[in-house]
Amino acid sequence: MGDPDVELLDALRVGDDAAFATLVGRYHTRMLRLAEAFVPTRAVAEEVVQDTWLGVVKGIHRFEGRSSVKTWLFRILVNRAKATGMREPRNAALDDGDGLDGRFDAGGHWAEPLEPWASIDARLDATEIARRVKECLPKLPDAQRQVLILRDIEGADSAEVCDLLKISATNQRVLLHRARSHVRGMLELELGRG
């Protein structure tokens, strides 16, 4: 099965306003969330997303189908967000002991087995957990937040993330590990388990 968004782009190429509205409805909120990971305020993120949509309309003929429409949209967004001003260096330096924060052993494995999610779910329902995770996102360093949003919220694979953010596979893994560890730590503290 092909990318259903390609049909929307084809319709947009011939001036179909409804196709554009459908595309915006499908991706606008997701793009805004990703833009917020790159820029300092929601207002700036909204400008980046608007600028991205203008770029899509002006550059619709440049879509060649080598990636999904979603990846193409996110690539345009990331480029525009970076041009607007990314606040953190693209590559995060490794700290001495990175990953050895007590939760992981020297081999990178969990020091103590994880508590099954079912028992955590008994304390909080999935909606509440999602709300709390969303509240943690602004507390993460920019690069960690960007990788976490792309991987865990948008479902991009590691190769897509590396391509979109222009980072190495190793750096992507480090940033994702740090982000997940930080979010988990914040949630554990909130739940009185840290």
- pLDDT for 124 equals 54
Where are the domains positioned within the chain? Answer: 5-85, 89-194
- Residue 101: pLDDT band (50, 70, 90) is low
pLDDT in tens, 37-81: 888 888 999 999 999 999 998 888 888 888 889 999 999 999 999
Region label for 115, one of left (φ > 0), alpha (ψ between -120 and 50) or beta (otherwise): beta
Helix crossing, 42-58 with 69-85: angle to 10°? 130
CATH of region 5-85, choose from 2.40.10.120, 1.10.3720.10, 1.10.1740.10, 3.40.1080.10: 1.10.1740.10
Average pLDDT for 102-118: 61
- pLDDT for 73 equals 94
Average pLDDT for 2-6: 85
Query: Is residue 87 scored above 80 in pLDDT?
Result: no
Q: Which two tokens stand for residue 134?
A: 């969303």
Q: Which residue has the tokens 């920019």?
A: 142
The CATH code that applies to domain 89-194 is 1.10.10.10
Q: What residues are paired with 104 via a beta bridge?
A: 110
Region label for 133, one of left (φ > 0), alpha (ψ between -120 and 50) or beta (otherwise): alpha
Average pLDDT for 133-142: 89
Q: For residues 63 and 43, what is the distance between their CA atoms, to the nearest angstrom?
A: 28
- Residue 91: pLDDT band (50, 70, 90) is very low
* Residues 184, 139 contacting (CB under 8 angstroms): no
